Structure formats: structure tokens, C-alpha cells
Amino acid sequence: MLAIFEDLLSQPEGWVLPGKTLTIYGIIRTYGIGYVLKQDILLFTDVGEPASDAD
């Protein structure tokens, strides 16, 4: 599950709830997460199932 926080650093101190949550189905082992600011793109990489030759 991915939690999305809007303007996180401008929130008051204390408990902050995400504005949105996103569930990504089919990801087995998330390997990396990256964000490209100029294009506003969030990238996830998945190494898949280690025992599978097809992943």
C-alpha cells in the first residue's frame, strides 16, 4: 500500500493522515521507489519472485 500525503512538511506537528492510499496488486518484492519531479512521476521497481525463472 502506498500512502499519499499532500504538503506533508507544512502540516502541524503530530499525527498526520494520508489524503489518499493506493494499493498496487501483483508486486511481490518492491526493490526501488523513485520520483521524477519535472514529470511528476513516481516509479516502482519489483524484483519479482526469486524462485521463478519467468518473473
0.75 exceeded by the pTM?
A: no
Pair 12, 32: CB distance under 8 Å: no
What's the rounded Cα separation, in Å, for the pair 55 and 51? 9
SS3 assignment, position 26: coil
Rounded mean pLDDT for each run of 10 residues along the chain, 55 residues in total: 86 92 83 89 82 73
Which three cell numbers, joined as nine digits, stand for 55? 518473473
Please report, for the chain, the start and end positions of each structural domain, with discontinuous segments joined by +.
2-46
